Amino acid sequence: MNQTYYPSDVTLMLSVFGERIRTARVRRRWSMEMFAKRIGVGRRTVARLEKGDPGVATGLFFTALWALGLWETVVDLADPGADKVGEFLDKQRFPKHVHLQKDKDLNF
Protein backbone atom coordinates (compact mmCIF):
# COMPACT_ATOMS: atom_id res chain seq x y z
CA MET A 1 0.00 0.00 0.00
CA ASN A 2 1.29 3.45 -0.94
CA GLN A 3 1.60 5.70 2.10
CA THR A 4 1.29 9.43 1.44
CA TYR A 5 3.63 11.70 3.37
CA TYR A 6 2.16 14.83 4.88
CA PRO A 7 4.46 17.47 6.37
CA SER A 8 4.05 17.90 10.12
CA ASP A 9 2.83 21.49 9.61
CA VAL A 10 0.03 20.14 7.42
CA THR A 11 -1.06 17.45 9.86
CA LEU A 12 -0.98 19.95 12.72
CA MET A 13 -3.13 22.45 10.81
CA LEU A 14 -5.60 19.73 9.80
CA SER A 15 -5.93 18.80 13.47
CA VAL A 16 -6.53 22.45 14.36
CA PHE A 17 -9.18 22.83 11.64
CA GLY A 18 -10.83 19.57 12.68
CA GLU A 19 -11.04 20.76 16.28
CA ARG A 20 -12.49 24.08 15.12
CA ILE A 21 -15.17 22.29 13.13
CA ARG A 22 -15.95 20.12 16.16
CA THR A 23 -16.19 23.21 18.40
CA ALA A 24 -18.57 24.90 15.94
CA ARG A 25 -20.73 21.75 15.77
CA VAL A 26 -20.88 21.41 19.56
CA ARG A 27 -21.73 25.10 19.99
CA ARG A 28 -24.71 24.54 17.72
CA ARG A 29 -25.66 21.53 19.86
CA TRP A 30 -25.60 19.24 16.83
CA SER A 31 -24.85 15.59 17.40
CA MET A 32 -22.35 13.88 15.10
CA GLU A 33 -25.24 12.01 13.52
CA MET A 34 -27.19 15.22 12.88
CA PHE A 35 -24.13 16.93 11.39
CA ALA A 36 -23.30 13.89 9.28
CA LYS A 37 -26.81 13.92 7.84
CA ARG A 38 -26.57 17.65 7.03
CA ILE A 39 -23.36 17.20 5.06
CA GLY A 40 -24.32 13.88 3.48
CA VAL A 41 -21.82 11.51 5.11
CA GLY A 42 -21.68 8.94 7.89
CA ARG A 43 -20.82 9.51 11.54
CA ARG A 44 -17.38 7.91 11.10
CA THR A 45 -16.50 10.40 8.39
CA VAL A 46 -17.45 13.28 10.68
CA ALA A 47 -15.19 11.77 13.35
CA ARG A 48 -12.33 11.57 10.84
CA LEU A 49 -12.97 15.17 9.73
CA GLU A 50 -12.93 16.41 13.32
CA LYS A 51 -9.69 14.52 14.04
CA GLY A 52 -8.02 16.17 11.06
CA ASP A 53 -7.60 13.02 9.00
CA PRO A 54 -5.79 14.08 5.79
CA GLY A 55 -7.70 11.43 3.83
CA VAL A 56 -10.97 13.34 4.18
CA ALA A 57 -11.86 15.06 0.90
CA THR A 58 -11.36 18.81 0.63
CA GLY A 59 -14.89 19.11 -0.74
CA LEU A 60 -16.22 17.64 2.49
CA PHE A 61 -14.19 20.09 4.55
CA PHE A 62 -15.72 23.01 2.63
CA THR A 63 -19.19 21.46 2.84
CA ALA A 64 -18.83 21.21 6.62
CA LEU A 65 -17.87 24.89 6.83
CA TRP A 66 -20.83 25.77 4.62
CA ALA A 67 -23.25 23.77 6.77
CA LEU A 68 -21.91 25.47 9.90
CA GLY A 69 -22.34 28.92 8.37
CA LEU A 70 -18.58 29.45 8.33
CA TRP A 71 -18.25 29.49 4.56
CA GLU A 72 -17.08 33.12 4.52
CA THR A 73 -14.01 32.15 6.53
CA VAL A 74 -12.41 30.50 3.49
CA VAL A 75 -12.55 33.58 1.24
CA ASP A 76 -8.92 34.52 1.89
CA LEU A 77 -7.59 30.97 1.64
CA ALA A 78 -4.74 30.90 -0.92
CA ASP A 79 -5.47 34.51 -1.94
CA PRO A 80 -2.95 35.52 -4.64
CA GLY A 81 -2.75 38.96 -3.03
CA ALA A 82 -1.25 37.36 0.08
CA ASP A 83 1.36 35.42 -1.92
CA LYS A 84 4.52 37.38 -1.04
CA VAL A 85 6.84 34.79 -2.59
CA GLY A 86 4.87 34.83 -5.84
CA GLU A 87 4.93 38.64 -5.95
CA PHE A 88 8.69 38.62 -5.39
CA LEU A 89 9.18 36.09 -8.20
CA ASP A 90 7.00 38.17 -10.53
CA LYS A 91 9.12 41.23 -9.83
CA GLN A 92 12.27 39.26 -10.61
CA ARG A 93 10.93 38.60 -14.12
CA PHE A 94 10.48 42.28 -14.92
CA PRO A 95 13.08 43.61 -17.34
CA LYS A 96 15.96 45.46 -15.70
CA HIS A 97 15.93 48.20 -18.32
CA VAL A 98 13.18 49.56 -20.52
CA HIS A 99 14.19 50.59 -24.01
CA LEU A 100 12.13 53.29 -25.62
CA GLN A 101 11.12 52.63 -29.20
CA LYS A 102 11.56 55.50 -31.59
CA ASP A 103 8.59 55.17 -33.84
CA LYS A 104 7.29 58.13 -35.73
CA ASP A 105 3.76 56.65 -35.80
CA LEU A 106 3.46 57.04 -32.04
CA ASN A 107 3.21 60.82 -32.18
CA PHE A 108 0.30 61.64 -29.88
Q: Considering the domain 8-74 in this protein, what is its CATH number?
A: 1.10.260.40
Handedness of CA 48, 54, 60, 61 (dihedral sign): positive
pLDDT value of position 61: 95
Q: What tens-digit pLDDT sequence spans the chain (108 residues)?
A: 567 899 999 999 999 999 999 999 999 999 999 999 999 999 999 999 999 999 999 999 999 999 999 999 998 888 999 999 999 998 888 777 777 766 666 665
For residue 36, what are the CA distances in angstroms to 19, 48, 87? 16, 11, 41
Kindly report the pTM of this predicted structure: 0.77
Q: How far is CA 41 from the centre of its chain?
A: 20
